[in-house]
Structure 1
Amino acid sequence: MNIKLDKFVVSILFIIGLAYVFPQWGTASSPIPINTISTIGISLIFFFYGLKLSPTKIKEGLKNWKLHVLIQGTTFLFFPLIVLLFKPLLQTAEQELLWLAIFFLAALPSTVSSSVVMVSVAKGNIPAAIFNASISGIIGILVTPLWMGIFVNSADANFDFSSIYLQLIGQIVVPVVLGLILQKYLGEFAQKYSKQLTLFDKSIILLIIYKSFASSFEEKIFSSVSLVDLLVLLGIILLLFAVVFFGIKFVSKRLGFTEKDQITATFCGTKKSLVHGTVFSKIVFGNMATLGIILLPLMIFHATQILIISIIAGKMGRNKSA
């Protein structure tokens, strides 16, 4: 079986290596204004996201409400509640931080592009995938900070709901709304240069990842994380993925979904957005030195979900073509 490495995953690994070798570029004293660049970049990401959103397809997608409730319920309730079950088992500050990082992953919205692409490869319900991927990011703006507000104070972060929602409104909501308003004028431009805009999105995400890991390396935060910890973390993330994947597959069958809707439910419901994760982490956690660790489970999950789902999607697509 020929397994291709995702270029973005490779880029993330390179950026983490760069942050380890040259952490000084990402510190507060750096001559490079990374915070300013990333803040402007985040707003542009979501402006372009608004340009690419299709109000017509969103309206059409509202009809299949059982599928949407299952996907969004899995994304914002089932995922976090699974992780929440393990909180009483925590014993040390290091475990508390790693648990918070996994919980942050669990509270995030689903991806947009990769969900739609994988559903398309597996020959699932593409309009429903577009609707759920699009609406998930909007719901996440409200729900993710609410989940994190319950626990993030214990991580020594200054969590202020009013400040966080003001930043989310200013950096995400306003650009998305502006993009929607200007869609009839610039929508074709956004579709025509979709690949270039995706490259811009990924560049900003890599910049935020560099800044986060550079600060953590500079403060020697990762000195408390051993190879055994990383292997355990990988095992936990794979287990979390498996529980959600087979759980949503079981429920969608019991609800009598068509095969196409089952594919859409499992693929969209198991995804977590690296774009939203890096953006939300910057807003929710600010410039915490531990931000690199907060993002670590998300990046491991991102890499594993791409690998696993692409293999499953490819197999499903080939079986249907045969």
Structure 2
Amino acid sequence: MSLRKAEAVLARFGFDRYMLLLVLTVVLATVLPARGAAAVVLSHLTYWVIALLFFLYGAKLTTATIVAGLANWRLQLSVLALTFVLFPVLALALKPVSMLWLPAAVGVGFLYIGCMPSTVQSSIAFTAVSQGNVAGAVCAASISNLIGVILSPLLFATLIPQGSAYGIDPSAIWKIVQQILLPFALGQLCRPLLAGVLNRYRKPTMIVDRGSILLIVYAAFSAGVVNGIWQVISAGSLAILVALCLVLLGAVMGAAVLIGRAAGMNHADLMAVLYCGSTKSLATGLPMAGILFAGQDISLIILPLMLFHLLQLGVCAIIAQRMAGRLDLQPA
């Protein structure tokens, strides 16, 4: 079987190159983790790659898109309610269940999922494939991430038990602003100079986007392997974690559809709410975790978010493909 045919078969089940690269990155970190001086260099490189990523996000986002998206207040409020109200409540409810069978750090990571903002690239892509409101999705995902820079760590600090070993240092929020929000703002200021170049050369931007995530995953799991993560997590524990992530994802997706229909949204808006309201950002969550949980079991904490990210990509890809096929069959 050729590589293209193999990719086509995997695509039917929601697996694309990016998902396979994520899995291979974890395997690489397991077999060949960064140690010593290499780990230090990797840490510095990761910091600047993340800053570059959010600089490019800022440079790509047009003011017109923000204004058009904000005008649809039902869509925006629905996404924010799902992301920062329903998700944390459900994660908080499922956290005690997860801690019955999983290490404490993994249980904390499950709660961390609920506090994260929405994805940007994938939620917009799935909305476009499903013929949804792309402008609304761009605005909703971007606003979610901008708000999440401040709200996500504060929300997590509120939900985590007092006296927990995973408390947050207030100075971490300023570090997150420096690494994520300031580069984004600088990108917005530089947009008039860079917009044309970024529109012409989309592939390098995508490489930075996906490459930065792969780099963060490799760095985090390298540290985890050095500290014996796979001696702590068994195959049975992974299966339980996957099941809990699917329960969380399914519950929020169901709620997103119900909210959209109750609000009388058309198909385009409903698709934007579904994808933006039910997904969580790995690009924002990983660097934020590196700051919030410095010196702690980061690889165990981010493991639930990584698995959730892979599952949401697969499930959303399948839904988007079926939705696109169904719409193509409708008469013009």
Shared fold (TM-score, shorter chain, > 0.5):
yes
List per-residue Cα deviations over 1:151-198 (Å, max 9, x = no partner).
28755346211x212212211111111111110111111222222112
Whole-Å separation in 2 of the counterparts to 1:248 and 1:14: 32
Identical positions, percent: 28
2:19 to 1, 9, 14: 9
1:85 maps to what in 2? 93
TM-score normalised to structure 2 length: 0.90
Which stretch of structure 1 is more off in the superposition, 290-299 or 47-56?
A: 290-299
Whole-Å separation in 1 of the counterparts to 2:161 and 2:57: 28
1:156 to 150, 153, 165: 165
1:303 maps to what in 2? 310
Q: Residue 221 of structure 1: CA displacement?
A: 3.0
CA-based RMSD:
2.0
1:147 maps to what in 2? 155
Q: In 2 relative to 1, CA 53–223 (structure 1 residues): closer, same or farther, beyond 3 Å?
A: same
Confirm or deny that 1:19 pairs with 2:20: no
List per-residue Cα deviations over 1:127-174 (Å, max 9, x = no partner).
11111111111011011101222328755346211x212212211111
Confirm or deny that 1:124 pairs with 2:132: yes
Whole-Å separation in 2 of the counterparts to 1:182 and 1:149: 34
3-state secondary structure, aligned to 1:111: coil
Q: In 2 relative to 1, CA 255–38 (structure 1 residues): closer, same or farther, beyond 3 Å?
A: same
1:30 maps to what in 2? 38
1:227 maps to what in 2? 235
The answer for unaligned runs of 5 or more in structure 2 is: 1-7
Number of equivalent positions: 318
The answer for unaligned runs of 5 or more in structure 1 is: none
2:107 maps to what in 1? 99
Q: In 2 relative to 1, CA 239–89 (structure 1 residues): closer, same or farther, beyond 3 Å?
A: closer
Whole-Å separation in 2 of the counterparts to 1:32 and 1:297: 25
3-state secondary structure, aligned to 2:38: coil
Asked if structure 2 preserves the Cα contact closer than 8 Å seen for 1:152 and 1:159, the reply is no
List per-residue Cα deviations over 1:43-68 (Å, max 9, x = no partner).
11111111001111101111111111
Q: In 2 relative to 1, CA 97–154 (structure 1 residues): closer, same or farther, beyond 3 Å?
A: farther
Q: In 2 relative to 1, CA 93–146 (structure 1 residues): closer, same or farther, beyond 3 Å?
A: farther
Report matched runs for 1:1-322 at 5 Å: 2-4=9-11, 5-23=15-33, 25=34, 27-30=35-38, 33-89=41-97, 94-150=102-158, 151=160, 156-157=165-166, 159-161=168-170, 163-288=171-296, 290-322=297-329
Q: Residue 32 of structure 1: CA displacement?
A: 5.7
List per-residue Cα deviations over 1:85-114 (Å, max 9, x = no partner).
234557669443222111111211111111
List per-residue Cα deviations over 1:281-319 (Å, max 9, x = no partner).
11111242x211112111211111111111111111121
State the AA in 1 paired with 2:202.
Answer: S
Q: In 2 relative to 1, CA 168–158 (structure 1 residues): closer, same or farther, beyond 3 Å?
A: same
Which stretch of structure 1 is more off in the superposition, 260-269 or 235-244?
A: 260-269
3-state secondary structure, aligned to 2:71: coil
Which stretch of structure 1 is more off in the superposition, 136-145 or 296-305?
A: 296-305
3-state secondary structure, aligned to 2:141: helix
Q: In 2 relative to 1, CA 232–29 (structure 1 residues): closer, same or farther, beyond 3 Å?
A: same
Which stretch of structure 1 is more off in the superposition, 86-95 or 59-68?
A: 86-95
Q: In 2 relative to 1, CA 37–154 (structure 1 residues): closer, same or farther, beyond 3 Å?
A: farther
Q: In 2 relative to 1, CA 35–152 (structure 1 residues): closer, same or farther, beyond 3 Å?
A: farther
Asked if structure 2 preserves the Cα contact closer than 8 Å seen for 1:100 and 1:152, the reply is no
Q: Residue 245 of structure 1: CA displacement?
A: 0.5
Q: In 2 relative to 1, CA 52–152 (structure 1 residues): closer, same or farther, beyond 3 Å?
A: farther
TM-score normalised to structure 1 length: 0.93
Whole-Å separation in 2 of the counterparts to 1:222 and 1:31: 19
Q: In 2 relative to 1, CA 21–3 (structure 1 residues): closer, same or farther, beyond 3 Å?
A: closer
